[in-house]
Each structure stands twice: as structure tokens, then as C-alpha cells.
């Protein structure tokens, strides 16, 4: 009998068969921030749309949040840890430089058959990971993949910088991907980046280019730095362009979408993107008022909430669109 070579097998479609999320118990409101920096609730809410965010406990690591989101997604999908072939974890706040946080999650959820690795694409990480996972399933390399977006941004936020500390929160979101015989799943995905804009949103210190030492510790280079106005402009432009491209790839119009799930960074950005795509805000998933910007976790948490609250039904078309440091951006059209 002639063996069936994987390269000759027909490509498979890829569906999200389960979602999960986790946010820490501690709620930090705008009123709480008023006691820490020179700001107020009206200023934060009017400029960002954020009213509160979740903050992880000191002993709660990125891997802890990721594992809880993963277990919720596994329960939603009805699978066990031993069924997972691959774990892809997107984060900019890993537990350690080495080993990967994905390997730590593997142990915590009992997925000991899985290969594991992390990726770093800032707030775009979850959709980058979805695209990577899709390639492995389409090519018959793996059957069941766990994708996680997670960040503990409270660990790299300067709580004395009112321009950034008001924006960010902690959390994790996860999805289980598999081929599903009766459904198209991920129809099209676009990814993009522009390293010329890397300095707009970055953590300048802590890596090999600028290790934190006793001599430079006072410069606080291990915290998030952001050029807000320029970041806003490029975020809107690239998200809109990417969304239009992926809709064209999918052969769809914005009017075909049942739900749009954008990166949860700023309500003004979300509103501008929705307006340029001609999508009414009632079809846009927004939860940043409660969670702030959780980086790689943001769109994953919003996807899980949209799933669990019935924002999408089977057969609906959903657009996910994100941007992040790098600069990076991505978009994906999914048939639910």
C-alpha cells in the first residue's frame, strides 16, 4: 500500500472550536489612579473609554493567567490536555526569558504531548498566533492547537507616568483550533509590520541591547514608553487598511459582518476604525471600559466574551483586527 504523503493531502479548513479567558480579581478604577498620579476619571474616560482595569496579584505570573484561560477554552471545546498537539503563546511579559511561558503552561494544563513556543508581536500577538496555528492544521502537521494571548502589563507599567499607566491591565484569552468538517472557520488572515515605527511603542531596556544595570536603573527603561498621538494615527490607518484587505481576500463586505472584534486599546481608535469601515458601533465588541488594554490578551478576551454572550451564531462572519508595538497589525475573517 502506498503511504499517503501529507504534502499531497487536500488542505484542511481551520475553526475555533472553543474559547476561554481569565482576568485577575483585583479591580483598579480610575478613582484609584487619581490617588496615584495627577489624573481624574473624566479625563481618562473621555480620552480612552477606560473606567477600570484588572491587576494581577504579585505572586500571579503570566503563566498562571494563561493556564486558567486555557483550561476554560479546553472546557468550552470539550477536549483534554493530552489531545493538544501544539501550544502557541503570545506575550510581551513572559515569566522568564527562558524557558518559554508556553512550556510552563503545558505542565499546568497537562498537555504533555504538545510542542510549545512563545511569540512576541505585542498587541497583535494573538492574531499572529492564529495564523501560525492555521498553517499547521491546514498542512495536516497538527490536529489540535491551543493559542493563548496573555500579558501582565502591570509588571512593565510606570505607575508614575499618567500617560501610560491609565491605559493598561492584565489578563489572558485562549482559543482551541481544529479542522471542523462542517464549517469554513478562518477564511482569511493578514499580518503586517513596520519596524521604522518601532520607537513609538516600546520597552527600551531589559534586553540584550540595553540590559538593566545599577548604573541605568534610575532611567526606568524597563517600562512601557509610548508616543500617543503618532501611535493613534498609525493604529487607525493600519487597522482600517488591514481590515479592508482581509475582507477583500474573503470576498466579503463590511455589511456581511455580524460582529467586529477590534483591539481594545482606546475607544476613539475603535470608533474611528468602525466609522471608516462603515460598521455601526452596535456590531462592534467593546469591553475596554472594564479591562483596559491587555495587549496580546485584549482581542482574545473580547472574542471569548462575544462567544459566551451570544454575539455570534454559527455561520456568522466575524472580523478581528488588531495593532501593536513593532509596529505590528493583523486582521482575520472567521466564519463562526
Mean pLDDT of 170-182: 94
Catalytic hit among 103, 238, 263, 307? 263
User: 246-301, pLDDT tens digit by residue?
Assistant: 999 999 999 999 999 999 999 999 999 999 999 999 999 999 999 999 999 999 99
Least confidently predicted of 74-88, 92-106, 179-193: 179-193
Q: What is the rounded CA–CA span in Å between residue 96 and residue 118?
A: 11
Topology agreement, domain 6-181 and domain 186-335: yes
Question: What is residue 206's predicted lDDT score, i.e. its pLDDT?
Answer: 85
Contact 95, 104 (CB under 8 A): yes
Residue with cell 500500500: 1
pTM of the predicted model over 0.85: yes
Which residues make Cβ contacts (< 8 Å) with residue 101, sequence separation at least 6? 62, 63, 66, 89, 91, 94, 95, 118, 150
Give the C-alpha distances (Å, rounded to integers) separating 102 from 91, 144, 154, 218, 222: 10, 15, 20, 32, 23
* Cα separation, 100 vs 148, whole angstroms: 13
Tell me the pLDDT band of 5, cut-offs 50, 70 and 90: low
Which class would CATH give 186-335?
alpha beta
Average pLDDT of span 42-63 = 95
Measured in whole angstroms, the distance separating CA 213 from the mean position of its chain's CA atoms is: 31
pLDDT above 90 for 217? no
pLDDT (0 to 100) of residue 181: 81
CA distances (Å), origin 183, targets 16, 233, 317:
10, 37, 11
Residue 4 has pLDDT above 60, yes or no: no
> For this structure, is 140 an active site residue?
no
Mean pLDDT throughout 218-225? 87
Which CATH number among 1.10.3470.10, 3.30.450.20, 1.10.1240.10, 3.40.47.10 corresponds to the domain 6-181?
A: 3.40.47.10
The pLDDT score that the predictor gives to residue 272 is 95
- Residues paired with 115 in a beta bridge: 86
Question: Domain locations in the chain?
Answer: 6-181, 186-335
Cell output for 290:
472594564
- Please pick, among 238, 287, 293, 307, the residue that the annotation labels catalytic: 293
Confidence band (pLDDT; 50, 70, 90) for 202?
confident
**Does pLDDT of 1 surpass 60?**
no
Judged against a pLDDT cut of 70, whether residue 142 lies above it is answered with: yes
Task: Determine which one of 103, 116, 123, 259 is catalytic.
Answer: 123
State yes or no: is 158 an active-site residue: no
The residue-averaged pLDDT of 79-96 equals: 97
Please confirm, yes or no, whether 218 is among the known catalytic residues: no
pLDDT digits (tens, 9 = 90+) for 310-321: 999 999 999 999
Q: pLDDT grade, residue 204 (50/70/90)? A: confident
Higher pLDDT, 254 or 2: 254
Asked if residue 72 has pLDDT above 90, the reply is: yes
Share of the chain above pLDDT 90, in %: 81
Amino acid at each position: 500500500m502506498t503511504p499517503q504523503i501529507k504534502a499531497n493531502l487536500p488542505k484542511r479548513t481551520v475553526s475555533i472550536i472553543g474559547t476561554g479567558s481569565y482576568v485577575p480579581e483585583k479591580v483598579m478604577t480610575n478613582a484609584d489612579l487619581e490617588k496615584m498620579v495627577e489624573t481624574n476619571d473624566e479625563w481618562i474616560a473621555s480620552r480612552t473609554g477606560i473606567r477600570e482595569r484588572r491587576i494581577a496579584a504579585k505572586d500571579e505570573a503570566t503563566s498562571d493567567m494563561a493556564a486558567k484561560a486555557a483550561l476554560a477554552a479546553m472546557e468550552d471545546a470539550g477536549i483534554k490536555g493530552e489531545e493538544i498537539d501544539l501550544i502557541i503563546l503570545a506575550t510581551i511579559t513572559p515569566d522568564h526569558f527562558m524557558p518559554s511561558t508556553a512550556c510552563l503552561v503545558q505542565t499546568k494544563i497537562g498537555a504533555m504531548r504538545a510542542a510549545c513556543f512563545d511569540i512576541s508581536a505585542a498587541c497583535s500577538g494573538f492574531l499572529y498566533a492564529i495564523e501560525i496555528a492555521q498553517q499547521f492544521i491546514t498542512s495536516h502537521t497538527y490536529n489540535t492547537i491551543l493559542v493563548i494571548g496573555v500579558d501582565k502589563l502591570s509588571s512593565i507599567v510606570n505607575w508614575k507616568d499618567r500617560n501610560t499607566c491609565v491605559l493598561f491591565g492584565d489578563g489572558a484569552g485562549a482559543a482551541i483550533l481544529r479542522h471542523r468538517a462542517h464549517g469554513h472557520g478562518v477564511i482569511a488572515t493578514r499580518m503586517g509590520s513596520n519596524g521604522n515605527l518601532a520607537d513609538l511603542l516600546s520597552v527600551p531596556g531589559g534586553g540584550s541591547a540595553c540590559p538593566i544595570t545599577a548604573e541605568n536603573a534610575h532611567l526606568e527603561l524597563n517600562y512601557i514608553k509610548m508616543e500617543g498621538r503618532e501611535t493613534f494615527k498609525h493604529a487607525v490607518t493600519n487597522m482600517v487598511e488591514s481590515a479592508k484587505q482581509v475582507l477583500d481576500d474573503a470576498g466579503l463586505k463590511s455589511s456581511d459582518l455580524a460582529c467586529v472584534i477590534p483591539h481594545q486599546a482606546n475607544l476613539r481608535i475603535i470608533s474611528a476604525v468602525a466609522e471608516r469601515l462603515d460598521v455601526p458601533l452596535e456590531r462592534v465588541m467593546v469591553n475596554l471600559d472594564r479591562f483596559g488594554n491587555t495587549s496580546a490578551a485584549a482581542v482574545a478576551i473580547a472574542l471569548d466574551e462575544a462567544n459566551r454572550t451570544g454575539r455570534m451564531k454559527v455561520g456568522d462572519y466575524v472580523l478581528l483586527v488588531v495593532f501593536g508595538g513593532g509596529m505590528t497589525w493583523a486582521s482575520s475573517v472567521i466564519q463562526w
